[in-house]
Structure 1
Amino acid sequence: MVSSEEKRKCIENVIELSSNEETKNIALKNLYQVLLKDTLNGKLYKYRSFDDKGYALANLNDGTLHCSKPSEFNDPFDCKIGITFNSIFKAKYESEFDVMMEIYNEFLSVVRNEADINDYTDDVRRLIIKLQNNTIITDFIKANDGKISSEQEMGKFLKDNSNVIIELLQVFLEDDYFKDTLGVCSNMMPQLVEKISPTGMLVLSDENATYEDFAKANGVCEDADEIELTMLMSEKISPELVDARADIMNLIDDKDNQINTKLVDLFFVGCLCTDYKNRLMWSHYADSHKGFCVEYDYSSLTEAEMLSLPLPIIYAKGRPLLPWKAALDNTLENISEATAQITLGLLTKDDEWKYENEWRILVSSSGSTEFKMPKISCIYLGAAISDKNKAKILEIAKRKNILVKQMKIDRGTYALHAATIFN
């Protein structure tokens, strides 16, 4: 089995190189090599159950794969991008906070007589002067500048000097430039930071602490996601900020609905795997071993056929996050980055599903749901298939000269075996 990291790099390579015909062929050949490495002799499999309308048998007869809407999948996380308050905040305000840090560092240079205040622009000079005029900040720097050299010392600093952090934030957030660009957060942040408990400040400095730890340190113990915990902490710490919370939740809900609704309607998806003996797959997708499994042969494709290659699924503990930069600022660079993130989102699943070792065919939702597949090299009948359905499969197999094997349950171990019944 190829690692998820290798598969991720392969997909990123396909995304990056697909815009150019020459480099696209290089990316597809690399993808094909990954497929061959991840499979047994280049074979991919589709588990099927018998349906009343005969769609599964029609696909078998026609050599096609039915591709479904992601909304029909049994995993509610499938083909959807996650969102967190931190990812929104980072996309919307990271550049402003970078500027704050730059100005703070310039302020330190002036305090240390390493720079002349007159060398800066009017906006920077104005903020440096405001920092210089704040005695809480300047007294702290005179007493502590250069003393914080470890994480433990930073933790103690946060616990003992939250008032200094508040003063720094207020200097920036009361400035017209930052007040305008930070919007609702300029109203929320100073009050929230001021009211965070000393224990909460200490948790912030611990790289091993979870967001739930931080919430608990501030009196919120509900079983909830990061966004809801953030809102609950804000409600507990600053109940008066009702309008600011409403503005943030409207932004989250609006962008989430816009992108994820479009995402699940963007493609039809065909699902394949790399193992015909997977007992869980037989149970889940082949009607408790009463269905069948089709083997598709990818071992010798032409260059033209490589255009229809499936893509591997990446299994991960963390969800791909919504590309907020593109949602908030539609620059070409942001849109390009978002396209890559969204594609990876379609191809990333919770690692609880890694036993499937899935490969996916993505078909535009404007096209057909029935995808023409490579040659069928074998059909595997479930260990509990009925005689009636077995006869239906054999009729198609004999007409098309396809090898058929019957799965049998091992008498002594948790294993399946495939016995040839038509060759």
Structure 2
Amino acid sequence: MALFYRLRTMAADRAIDEIKDEYLYFSSPDKLNDPMESYIFAFWQGDLVVWKNLFRHYLLCLDFVMVQHHFGIQPSIDDIVLGIESISSIPARSGFIGETVNKIFSDSVINEFINNISARKTKVYEEELVFYLDMFKDYATSVLINSYQTSGTDFTVTKKLADEFVRAYGNLKKSNFFDVMNSYCSTTDNEEKAVRMLFMISSNFRDSIRQSIFGDINDPASLLGINMLSFSGLYVRASKRLLFPKWATVSFMKDVSNPVVWSHYGASHEGMCMIFETNQVENKECLRVLKPVSYNGDGYSYEFRELGLEDVKYSGKLPEVDFFANIGMLPTPQLMKSWYTFDNDRSCLADTVGEPNSEIRHRAQWDSFNQKTLTKLESWAYEKESRLVCDELFKPLLSDDDRKLKFDISQLKGVVFGLGATVDNKIKIRNAVLEKNRDRDGANIDIYQAYYDPHSGLVKHFKLPV
């Protein structure tokens, strides 16, 4: 057993409600204090099969968005990326899609283009991938529009889009672009970093030009016209949803004597701190949380389950994720069909999803997920953070109420008033604690007052009479 501390502000009385209603609020990564929490630092490197399937997947998403936009619907790119295979298999669409895919991938120029990308000897990062997809988009849009017209849908068509791809790719060939990239990037890490920096600068330059001409290009709802100004960038960011499940977390600390953590997370010392005592299960410190464990037609059934606290690891850089090797949000048959085979060709990654390697792959994917959810940059090391992490595979946490998971009140051992906590808030907290102590059997929830210790320069606390 061990003690873990959860610093809280008094904003909107949420901390008091957490005691009264006995819940922990699981925050999504984009709501955490570090904006890098929701960022996945991915790279793309693989054989021709997975690269062809990436361009195919991009084409399917592009087609769906164009059709939806034509009918005045603004779909979520995030949802499209995850569900596009199901959408494309609908009988009314599958024939059209199959013909269009065959038409595009039977083009020798497209095949040569993708083959050159797959032959890259070093990692392709996000900005470079967007560059290639932007080139492909012009050609794909032209073919799609022509196919719509053939099928009777009225789109304004221009052959200039396809011509633009042929011209741009022709310029790359003349300059031996891919040979130069392979030769340059394979020399040292510095060259690879320089190439990535060039693509980042180029991407920002293009975005600035688009912004000045077309307005807010970061608003997804405004980007779904035929020009699709920033569709490729939106697609690449959204495609990372194929890697890991959505997740949410609750943060704790093993020690709250650092005045800085009270300043940052305890509302400048005006908040409070909840003290929890864990159970040790299989050498892991755990808290009991009421979790959904089954589902039937009437809804979810809940039980208290032990959820392990995991220490956050602090690193000089974020972990890199191999995109093609870590697609974890698709069933194995769909993963094989949509990513690891193309026509009659198999990717070298196909063997990893079958027996006896499937269990190894499964463990590797969860290790990658844990590394993502439990790694922060070294500048955050002062927090000494531990987390409860909840993935959303079984039950999505869609609303605020879904994110409030009930904890076992017997594990709440105390609350600490911050140095600057107001008398009014202290009375509210004290009353909530007294009510819980009256209702529970066994040890009470203790109340403490934080104080500054001039000898150590730390924040300590002493026990108050309840």
Bin of the TM-score, shorter chain as denominator length: 0.5 to 0.7
Counterpart residue identity of residue 386, structure 1: T
TM-aligned CA deviation for residue 359 of structure 1: 2.1
* 2:377 matched residue in structure 1: 350
Q: Which has the larger radius of gyration?
A: 1
* 1:392 matched residue in structure 2: 428
TM-aligned CA deviation for residue 408 of structure 1: 0.6
* 2:339 matched residue in structure 1: 329
Question: Aligned runs of 1:9-408 on 2, under 5 Å?
Answer: 42-52=2-12, 54-83=13-42, 87-88=43-44, 90-92=45-47, 179=112, 182=115, 204=185, 207=188, 209=190, 211-213=192-194, 225=200, 228=203, 253-260=234-241, 266-300=246-280, 305=288, 307-316=306-315, 317-321=317-321, 323-325=323-325, 326=327, 329=339, 333=353, 336=362, 337-363=364-390, 364=392, 366=396, 368-374=402-408, 375-399=411-435, 400=437, 401-408=444-451
TM-aligned CA deviation for residue 296 of structure 1: 0.8
Counterpart residue identity of residue 354, structure 1: A
CA pair 320-227 structure 1, distance change in 2 beyond 3 A: farther
- Alpha-carbon distance in structure 2 between the residues aligned to 1:262 and 1:311: 21
TM-aligned CA deviation for residue 78 of structure 1: 0.7
Preserved contact between residue 63 and residue 376 of structure 1 (Cα < 8 Å): no
TM-score by length of 1: 0.53
Preserved contact between residue 81 and residue 322 of structure 1 (Cα < 8 Å): no
- Alpha-carbon distance in structure 2 between the residues aligned to 1:275 and 1:304: 17
Query: Which secondary structure does the structure 1 equivalent of 2:34 belong to?
Result: coil
C-alpha deviations, 1:32-88, integer Å up to 9, x for none?
Answer: xxxxxxxxx512211101122x221121123321112222223221133113xxx21
- Alpha-carbon distance in structure 2 between the residues aligned to 1:271 and 1:304: 12
385-394 vs 347-356, which moves further: 347-356
- Alpha-carbon distance in structure 2 between the residues aligned to 1:193 and 1:231: 23
Structure with the larger helix share: 1
TM-aligned CA deviation for residue 323 of structure 1: 2.2
Preserved contact between residue 117 and residue 178 of structure 2 (Cα < 8 Å): no
Query: Which secondary structure does the structure 2 equivalent of 1:354 belong to?
Result: helix
CA pair 258-410 structure 1, distance change in 2 beyond 3 A: same
Query: Which secondary structure does the structure 2 equivalent of 1:324 belong to?
Result: coil
| Count, aligned residues | 279
Preserved contact between residue 312 and residue 360 of structure 1 (Cα < 8 Å): yes
CA pair 274-413 structure 1, distance change in 2 beyond 3 A: closer
TM-aligned CA deviation for residue 289 of structure 1: 0.5
TM-aligned CA deviation for residue 329 of structure 1: 2.2
Query: Which secondary structure does the structure 1 equivalent of 2:269 belong to?
Result: coil
- Alpha-carbon distance in structure 2 between the residues aligned to 1:81 and 1:275: 29
Structure with the larger strand share: 2
Unaligned 5+ residue runs, structure 1? 1-40, 97-174, 233-245
Q: % of aligned pairs identical?
A: 15
* 1:411 matched residue in structure 2: 454
TM-aligned CA deviation for residue 392 of structure 1: 1.6
Query: Which secondary structure does the structure 1 equivalent of 2:447 belong to?
Result: strand
- Alpha-carbon distance in structure 2 between the residues aligned to 1:406 and 1:211: 54
TM-aligned CA deviation for residue 420 of structure 1: 1.4
TM-aligned CA deviation for residue 373 of structure 1: 2.7
- Alpha-carbon distance in structure 1 between the residues aligned to 2:191 and 2:447: 52
Counterpart residue identity of residue 417, structure 1: K
TM-aligned CA deviation for residue 184 of structure 1: 5.6
TM-aligned CA deviation for residue 360 of structure 1: 2.1
* 1:153 matched residue in structure 2: none
Query: Which secondary structure does the structure 1 equivalent of 2:372 belong to?
Result: helix
C-alpha deviations, 1:345-396, integer Å up to 9, x for none?
Answer: 2222222222222222233353531223341112111111111111122223
Counterpart residue identity of residue 61, structure 1: K
- CA RMSD of superposed structures (Å): 4.5
TM-aligned CA deviation for residue 412 of structure 1: 5.4
Preserved contact between residue 203 and residue 209 of structure 1 (Cα < 8 Å): no
- Alpha-carbon distance in structure 2 between the residues aligned to 1:74 and 1:261: 24
Unaligned 5+ residue runs, structure 2? 52-107, 120-168, 208-226, 289-304, 328-334, 341-349, 438-443
- Alpha-carbon distance in structure 2 between the residues aligned to 1:274 and 1:419: 17
Preserved contact between residue 320 and residue 341 of structure 1 (Cα < 8 Å): no
- Alpha-carbon distance in structure 2 between the residues aligned to 1:282 and 1:419: 16
C-alpha deviations, 1:329-351, integer Å up to 9, x for none?
Answer: 25563973545423432222222
CA pair 202-308 structure 1, distance change in 2 beyond 3 A: closer
Structure 1's consecutive aligned runs of 4 or more residues displaced over 6 angstroms after TM superposition are: 175-178, 194-197, 200-203, 229-232
* 2:62 matched residue in structure 1: none
